[in-house]
């Protein structure tokens, strides 16, 4: 996730908008992933830092894309934290402009939609029939 706003803290609704997750999912993940601990402001509302958002995106990728179980994702993140992998992953994501990542995501989504419609619609040369 690329932080182009310069903000230090984000509300739960902002984080939900950035990650595509519902607030109850974020609150549940806080109970199951001990390393996810957003601060709370004086009103008691959660406030997320960029590091929290990066961790949320990692959890989402492990659970949704790579199909880890919750326990497996927790173990994987703990391994990455021991080896410094979570910081390196965040640094690598920060080098790619947000617009590029959004374009890549859209292209992949379009390709998947095309394949879902009719996998035989693409010939051996990659041409659409």
Tokens found for residue 35: 């390393």
pLDDT for res 115: 80
Q: Residues 79-126: pLDDT tens digits?
A: 888 887 665 555 555 555 666 667 888 888 888 888 887 656 555 666
Same structural domain for residues 21 and 45?
A: yes
54 closest CA partner among 28, 100, 14, 91: 91
Same structural domain for residues 40 and 22?
A: yes
Instruction: Provide the CATH number for the domain around residue 89.
Output: 1.10.1660.10
Q: Residues 14-54: pLDDT tens digits?
A: 999 999 999 999 999 999 999 999 999 999 999 999 999 99
Same structural domain for residues 86 and 106?
A: no
Same structural domain for residues 72 and 26?
A: yes
- Three-state DSSP state, 42: coil
Same structural domain for residues 54 and 102?
A: no
Same structural domain for residues 30 and 63?
A: yes
68, 106, 111, 127 from 121: Cα distances, Å = 32, 20, 12, 8
pLDDT for res 39: 94
Q: Residues 57-81: pLDDT tens digits?
A: 999 999 999 999 999 999 999 888 8
Contact 49, 14 (CB under 8 A): no
pLDDT for res 116: 81
How far apart (Å, rounded) are the C-alpha atoms in residues 71 and 67? Answer: 11
- Is residue 2 included in any domain, yes or no? no
Predicted confidence band at 2 (pLDDT cuts at 50, 70, 90)?
very low
Same structural domain for residues 89 and 123?
A: no
Contact 121, 114 (CB under 8 A): yes
Same structural domain for residues 85 and 104?
A: no
44, 101, 113, 121 from 106: Cα distances, Å = 37, 9, 10, 20
pLDDT for res 112: 86
- Is residue 34 included in any domain, yes or no? yes
Range of the domain at 59: 10-95
Same structural domain for residues 28 and 91?
A: yes
Same structural domain for residues 91 and 101?
A: no
Query: How many domains is the chain partitioned into structurally?
Result: 2
pLDDT for res 62: 93
């Amino acid at each position: 996730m690329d932080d182009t706003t310069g903000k230090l803290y984000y509300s739960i609704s902002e984080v939900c908008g950035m990650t595509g997750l519902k607030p109850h999912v974020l609150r549940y993940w806080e109970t199951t992933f001990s390393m996810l601990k957003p601060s709370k402001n004086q009103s008691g509302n959660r406030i997320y830092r960029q590091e929290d958002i990066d961790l949320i995106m990692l959890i989402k990728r492990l659970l949704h894309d790579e199909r880890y179980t919750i326990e497996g994702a927790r173990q994987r993140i703990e391994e990455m934290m021991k080896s410094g992998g979570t910081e390196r992953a965040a640094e690598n994501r920060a080098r790619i402009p947000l617009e590029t990542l959004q374009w890549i995501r859209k292209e992949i989504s379009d390709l998947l939609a095309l394949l879902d419609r009719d996998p035989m619609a693409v010939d051996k040369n990659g041409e659409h029939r």
